[in-house]
Structure 1
Amino acid sequence: MTGLWVLVAVLVAASAVGLLLRARNGRVRDARKSPARELPGPVTAVLDPASAVTLVQISTTFCAPCRHAKAVLAPLAERTDGLHHVELDVTNSPEVAQSLSVLRTPTTIALTPDGRELLRVGGVPKGPELLAALQPHLTTRTS
């Protein structure tokens, strides 16, 4: 009988963890109010100075959700003025992910042309929610 209770407890705990992870997946989080840090070279190289916001998608080659994130972000950037999307594969350069405090892939970081972080999304982003969070930064851009 004890084995049955252990099994039930494990199933309940696993379900709770699964629901928590599902709730956090794709959630837009504002950038922390910490001092600006220097971006790694590969990230600085992909920033688009002509766009108000560059979405830097941190991916790895073995990440299936990364393909889904790209399928959301690339069309969103194509149809939105001032928004640029780039995918950065960190499979062979984990120090880039570490310097950005990225703990999972995909992680999408919205950056200004000068490298200031606006927000980040862990997991596959929800297009409308991300666009709504970026809207103030896209409409205030002056050339």
Structure 2
Amino acid sequence: MTGAWVLLGTLAVAALAGFLLKSRNGRIRQVRPAPESVEAPAARLPAPVAEVLDPASAVTLVQISTTFCAPCRHTRVILSALADRTPGLTHVDLDVTNQPEVAQALSVLRTPTTLALTPDGREVLRVSGLPKAAKLLEALRPHLAATA
């Protein structure tokens, strides 16, 4: 009988963990503005990220990916299509498989993670997991309209 209780307890914990992970997947997190610093925000970014910022776009979506990440491929399709049809939006996929220090410097704990960065390198929002295009576009509207 004890084995049955252990099994039920294990299944309950697994179901709760699955529910929590699923509810956090694709959640958009607004980033609070950092206190003013002497250096520009781009100077605090790792070099591979700072190099891909598009100065001509209001927002650059930097997708942090790894080679064997299946959701990363789906995210790439969603973000590329979104950037293609949205003026002022650029998408860049940055594979950090061989550059774990980049993910560490950005406090990225899972892939895919998408960072929305302004041309000066300021992070305005972050999406962990597979993003929902409509919700992401809605969250980006104020940043896209500010430079339009």
2:23 is aligned to 23
Q: Cα deviations across residues 29-79 of structure 1 (Å, max 9, x unaligned)?
A: 011344457000000000000000000000000101000101110000000
1:48 alignment counterpart: 54
The normalised TM-score by structure 2 is 0.93
Q: Which of 88, 91, 99 in structure 2 is aligned with 1:85?
A: 91
Q: Distance in 2 between matches of 1:46 and 1:126?
A: 23
**Aligned partner of 2:130: which letter?**
V
TM-superposed deviation, 1:11: 0.2
1:8 — aligned with what? Answer: 8
- For these two proteins, the number of residue pairs brought into alignment is 142
Identity rate, percent: 66
- How many Å separate the matches in 2 of 1:69 and 1:117? 19
- In the alignment, what sits opposite 1:65? 71
Q: Which amino acid aligns with 1:9?
A: G
> Which aligned runs of 4 or more in structure 1 are off by greater than 3 angstroms?
32-37
Task: Measure the CA separation in 1 of the matches of 2:8 and 2:33.
Answer: 42
Q: Which residue of 2 aligns with 1:127?
A: 133
Match of 2:120 in 1: 114
Distance in 2, Cα, partners of 1:87 & 1:75? 13
SS across alignment from 2:91: strand
